[in-house]
């Protein structure tokens, strides 16, 4: 069933804002509601109806009911330090509203590969099933959010639930902790370690979310570009110099190197052990092959920074 | 900042949402063909400084391995241990195989030498992808180097992935019990774990190649183990040899024994029914068979040898 009224959370972020704008271009969708506390990333002049609301507030249920929303896209969860309350409380409140609603029949959750945790004892490449073990160990906010969504799907079996686990999102104008990290003049890395990193280009991430909204594709899907870059290699490609420091000092060193780089525990773990996800299920079951490889996506970001 | 763009050429008319077409196919797993073409030093340094090289999803970096890591080790292989290889025809040309070998020597020189033996004797120069303990990947520098040179964690998922994509995977089922065995136990195979390697090979439907290594068991004659010190340092054992720790770092030089590495006839695992991987009886039986084969081969190789140092 095609969606008629879509509600997108987290539209102040680039991904959420661009997704809402992209949905508004689809003539089959009657209304697109964009929810956030600020309108930063919602392009003006689109059909997106901006709703200034905090998803941590129970009044979000009224928004869903009055607009007769049938598809909820939870794009609000953020990586990065200090987002815990928004991520966890916001998700609980939003999902509670979905559960009570009579009109919502589909939920799409933007998650991240951080659910897999990672470390010296983890497999080199994670498939979707690997999160079952990782949820208990260091999956972070994302693991909690997915847990709530799966709980809702159990209580409301009529609901179509798609969870999309994104690799690190990158692209020409992406501004997040990781892109700021790669823009530092000297980039602190963990001494004695070199991580494997995988990126997904924002256009691929958007295309996957859009496909999950317009098609009924229940399940959990990893989304990442093909191929892998080593962290030191990525830093070199960005024209920067890696600066290895002891693991305990990576946080202070990043701040000293100049910048508003607040890495989350999940991202710090990424920098020492890396994380690669298997996208076979995305390509076969979901029916989408990312157009950008990890390297091409990263180079696209580098080109935009160099300009 | 100037950006090196040797690998990716943007299409002049490309739409913003279409990626530039890479000129070279990005390999998800190691390329089969060895990079024989010698690369000039400046090209090498330039590609390292600009990040213009490829690694696979396990972090294997063939360029670094072939250019920097293998050449000095090959000197040790040829000049110090004078490794002689037999049965190299048993290495499959295409497709994956699980190479199972005896482990010894206090420091895993046997693993390093076997990987050169495979790479240099395989007609297509395939690299041996070894499975290592978690400890290896926890140790700074060592863990990173292990990944760069193609090694990964000894776990079912990683082994399956490598074998299914046609790689030669090396495994040492004796583990730390083998590499840390004392001199008096030389050429006596330790327990072969729980036979996880058999289940892995059977699931992937690849043959097991028994590999017998003679020479490695005498390089550091371990006569004692200082257990409290090992515990303090978080190591599986702290070896005492006639020269270590007595002579300090000099004691860490391995004795120049003469080595022979034999690759045995492949043992097929794909003949039984597909769910045999879950059949513990089958798995343990086959593990015992592989162990027996290696033990027998080792016994005859040791008997044929006239001198530990001259072969």
Q: Over chain B, what HEC string results?
A: CCCCCCCECCCCCCCCCCCCCECCCCCCCCCCCCCCCCCCHHHHHHHHHCCCCCECCCCCCHHHHHHHHHHHHHHHHHHHCCCEEECHHHCCCCCCEEEEECCCCCCCHHHHHHHHHHHHHCCCCCCEEEEECHHHHHCCCHHHHHHHCCCEECCHHHHHHHHHCCCEEEECCCHHHHHCCCHHHCCCCCCCCCCHHHHHHHHHCCCEEEEEEECHHHCCCCCEECHHHHHHHCCCCCEECCCCCCCHHHHHCCCCCCCEEEECCCECCCCCCHHHHHCHHHHHHHHHHHHHHHHHHHHHHHHHCCCCCCC
A274 touches chain B (CB under 8 A): yes
Q: Which of residues 83-112 of A touch B (CB under 8 A)?
A: none
User: Structurally, how many domains does chain A consist of?
Assistant: 1
Q: Round to whole Å and give the CA distance between B68 and B180.
A: 28
Which residue on chain A is closest to B6 by alpha carbon? A237
| Reported confidence tier of residue A249, pLDDT bands at 50, 70, 90 | confident
Is position A190 within any domain?
A: no
Measure in Å the smallest separation between the Cα of A162 and chain B Cα atoms: 24
Distance (Å, whole) CA B254 – CA B288 = 31
- Of A172, A201, A233, nearest to B51 by CB-CB distance is A233
Q: Is residue A108 part of a domain?
A: yes
Q: Which residues of B touch A123 (CB under 8 A)?
A: 153, 155, 157-158
Angle at A224 between CA A220 and CA A226, to 5 degrees: 130
In terms of pLDDT, which residue wins out, A176 or B22?
A176
Residue A173, in any domain of the structure: no
Tell me the chain B residues in contact with residue A239 when contact means C-beta distances shorter than 8 Å.
1-3
Residue A112 C-alpha, separation from nearest chain B C-alpha, in angstroms: 18
Question: Is residue A235 situated within a structural domain?
Answer: no
pLDDT reported for residue A39: 80
Residue in A191, A240, A276 closest to B57 by CB: A276
Chain B residue with minimum CA distance to A190: B140
Interface test with B, best of A186, A230, A245, A307 (most B CBs within 10 A): A230
* Cα–Cα distance measured from residue B244 to residue B113, given in angstroms and rounded to the nearest whole number: 22
Are A291 and B134 an interchain contact pair (Cβ–Cβ within 8 Å)? no
Report if residue A298 sits inside a domain: no
CA atoms within 13 A on the CB side of B113: 35
CATH code, domain with A36:
3.40.50.720
Contacts of B61 in chain A (CB under 8 A): 230
How far away is chain B from the Cα of A157, in angstroms, using its nearest Cα? 32
B240: tokens are 């005492």
Residue with tokens 């040309």: B93
| Residues of chain B with C-beta less than 8 angstroms from the C-beta of A238 | 1, 3, 51
Nearest residue of B to residue A207, measured between CA atoms: B17
Are A4 and A29 contacting, i.e. CB atoms less than 8 angstroms apart?
yes
CA neighbours closer than 13 Å in the CB half-sphere of residue B163? 28
Class of the CATH-defined domain B62-219+254-304: alpha beta
Range of the domain at A88: 5-167+201-223+277-284
Contacts of A245 in chain B (CB under 8 A): none
Residue in chain A lying closest to B147 (CA): A194
Task: Give percent helix, percent strand, percent coil of chain A, each to the nearest 5.
Answer: 40, 20, 40
Average pLDDT over residues A146-169: 95
**pLDDT given for residue B28 in this prediction:** 46
Determine the distance in angstroms separating the CA of B158 from the nearest CA of chain A, rounded to an integer. 6
* pLDDT score, position B277: 77
Question: Residue A193: which of B49, B140, B161 has the nearest Cβ?
Answer: B140
pLDDT tens digits, one per residue of B141-161: 999 999 999 999 999 999 999
A139 pLDDT above the threshold of 50 = yes
Pick the residue of B4, B57, B156, B167 with the most A CBs within 10 A to test the interface with A by mutation: B57
With CB atoms and an 8 Å threshold, state whether B55 touches A201: no
Is residue A105 within 8 A of residue A159, CB to CB? The reply is yes
- Among A54-58, A129-133, A181-185, B113-117, top mean pLDDT goes to B113-117
Interchain CB distance below 8 Å, B153 and A120: yes
Question: What is the radius of gyration, based on Cα positions, of chain B?
Answer: 21
Whether residue A140 lies inside any domain: the answer is yes
pLDDT at A186 > cutoff 60: yes
Is residue A237 in a domain?
Answer: no
Per-residue pLDDT, B39:
72
Tell me what the mean pLDDT of segment A76-94 comes to. 83
Question: According to the model, what pLDDT value does residue B21 have?
Answer: 56
The verdict on residue A59 lying in a domain is yes
Distance CA(A93)–CA(A95), nearest Å, equals 6
Sorted by where each begins, the domain ranges of chain B are 62-219+254-304
Tell me which chain A residue has its CA closest to the CA of residue B49: A236
The stretches in chain B having pLDDT less than 50 are 1-16, 24-35
Select the more confidently predicted residue: A86 or A8.
A8
Q: Given this model, what pLDDT does residue B1 score?
A: 43
């Amino acid at each position: 069933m095609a969606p008629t009224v879509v509600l997108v959370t987290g539209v102040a972020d680039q991904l959420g804002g661009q997704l809402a704008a992209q949905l508004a271009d689809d003539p089959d969708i009657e209304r697109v509601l964009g929810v956030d506390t600020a309108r930063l990333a919602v392009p003006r002049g689109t059909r997106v109806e901006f709703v200034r609301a905090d998803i941590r507030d129970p009044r979000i249920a009224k928004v869903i009911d009055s607009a007769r929303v049938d598809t909820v896209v939870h794009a609000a969860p953020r990586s990065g330090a200090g987002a815990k309350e928004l991520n966890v409380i916001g998700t609980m409140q939003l999902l509670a509203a979905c559960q009570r609603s009579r009109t919502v029949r589909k939920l799409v959750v933007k998650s991240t590969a951080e659910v897999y945790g990672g470390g010296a004892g983890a497999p080199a490449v994670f498939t979707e099933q690997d999160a079952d073990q990782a949820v208990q160990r260091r999956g972070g906010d994302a693991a909690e959010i997915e847990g709530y969504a799966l709980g809702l799907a159990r209580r409301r079996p009529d609901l179509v639930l798609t969870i999309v686990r994104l690799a690190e999102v990158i692209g020409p104008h992406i501004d997040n902790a990781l892109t700021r990290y790669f823009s530092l003049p000297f980039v602190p890395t963990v001494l004695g370690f070199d991580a494997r990193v995988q990126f997904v280009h924002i256009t691929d991430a958007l295309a996957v979310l859009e496909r999950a909204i317009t098609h009924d594709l229940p399940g959990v899907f990893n989304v990442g570009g093909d191929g892998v870059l080593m962290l030191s290699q990525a830093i070199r490609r960005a024209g920067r110099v890696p600066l290895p420091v002891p693991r305990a000092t990576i946080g202070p060193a990043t701040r000293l190197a100049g910048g508003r780089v607040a890495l989350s525990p999940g991202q710090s773990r990424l920098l020492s052990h890396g994380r690669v996800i298997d996208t076979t299920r995305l390509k076969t079951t979901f029916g989408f092959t990312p157009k950008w490889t990890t390297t091409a996506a990263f180079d696209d970001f580098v080109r935009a920074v160099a300009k | 900042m100037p950006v090196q763009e040797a690998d990716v050429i943007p299409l002049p008319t490309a739409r913003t949402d279409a990626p530039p077409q890479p000129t070279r196919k990005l390999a998800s797993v190691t390329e089969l063909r060895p990079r024989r073409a010698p690369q000039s030093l400046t090209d090498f340094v330039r590609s390292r400084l600009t990040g213009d090289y490829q690694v696979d999803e396990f972090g294997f970096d063939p360029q670094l391995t072939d250019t920097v890591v293998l050449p000095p080790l090959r000197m040790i292989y040829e000049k110090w241990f004078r490794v002689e290889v037999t049965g190299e025809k048993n290495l499959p040309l295409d497709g994956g195989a699980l190479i199972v070998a005896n482990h010894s020597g206090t420091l895993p020189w046997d693993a390093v030498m076997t990987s050169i033996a495979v790479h240099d004797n395989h007609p297509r120069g395939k690299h041996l992808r070894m499975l290592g303990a978690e400890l290896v990947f926890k140790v700074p520098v060592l863990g990173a180097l292990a990944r760069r040179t193609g090694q990964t964690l000894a776990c079912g998922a990683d082994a399956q992935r490598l074998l299914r994509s046609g790689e030669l995977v090396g495994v040492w089922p004796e583990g730390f019990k083998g590499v840390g065995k004392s001199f008096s136990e030389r050429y006596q195979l330790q327990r072969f774990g729980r036979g996880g390697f058999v289940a892995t090979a059977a699931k992937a439907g690849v043959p097991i190649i028994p590999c017998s290594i003679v020479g490695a068991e005498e390089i550091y004659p371990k006569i004692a183990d200082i257990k409290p010190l090992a515990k303090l340092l978080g190591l599986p054992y702290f070896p005492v040899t006639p020269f270590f720790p007595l002579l300090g770092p000099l004691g860490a030089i391995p004795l120049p024994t003469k080595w022979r590495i034999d690759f045995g006839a492949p043992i097929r695992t794909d003949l039984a029914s597909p769910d045999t991987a879950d059949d513990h009886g089958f798995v343990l039986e086959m593990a015992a068979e592989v162990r027996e084969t290696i033990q027998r081969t080792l016994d005859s190789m040791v008997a044929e040898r006239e001198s530990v140092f001259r072969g």
